[in-house]
Amino acid sequence: MRAVVQRVSSAAVTTDGAMIGQISQGLLILLGVAKGDTTEDGIWLAQKIANLRIFPDDSEKLNFSVLDHHGEVMVVSQFTLIASTRKGTRPSFNEAAPPELANPLYEAFCRQMQELSGRPVTTGKFGAHMTVQLENDGPVTLVIDSMLRE
């Protein structure tokens, strides 16, 4: 699994002209599921993200996690994160997990994030065309890959 984690002041996701979710201060997580990913990858990734110290303390040092900060979490599926651009200019999505494998892993990741945070997790709509609006705070943006464990 690969995640783009953004610290946000706010974020919203819309599909079919309707807003289906929004959060205030917290994390927007774009999540891609690759072939070969497992539930254990999702557990590792959720724990890593939930405990990342990317929120500032009173001295402006990044010492607090989203859990410490009591921030909100939004997770949006994004298979394009698994793209390969090695050859040519058209991305290859061959390593992205097919929907019947990716969706259960995406949902399990969302449940894990909810369990860790003790708060509802806002989500996009798996497989849908979505518009995501965000106000990146910092900006703070990290890419984390469960295969690399970094």
Containing 138, the helix (H) or strand (E) segment is strand 131-145
79 given a catalytic annotation: yes
80 given a catalytic annotation: yes
Catalytic annotation, pick one of 80, 93, 131, 133: 80
131 given a catalytic annotation: no
Could you give the residue ranges of the DSSP H alpha helices within the chain?
Answer: 39-51, 66-69, 99-117
Catalytic annotation, pick one of 55, 79, 109, 126: 79
Long-range contacts of 40-45 (CB under 8 A, 24+ apart): 41/1, 41/105, 41/146, 41/147, 42/1, 42/105, 42/108, 42/109, 42/112, 42/146, 43/112, 44/146, 44/149, 45/1, 45/3, 45/109, 45/144, 45/146
Using CA atoms, how far apart are residues 73 and 11, in angstroms rounded to an integer?
Answer: 9
Catalytic annotation, pick one of 6, 14, 55, 78: 78
Give the residue numbers annotated as catalytic, written as ranges: 78-80
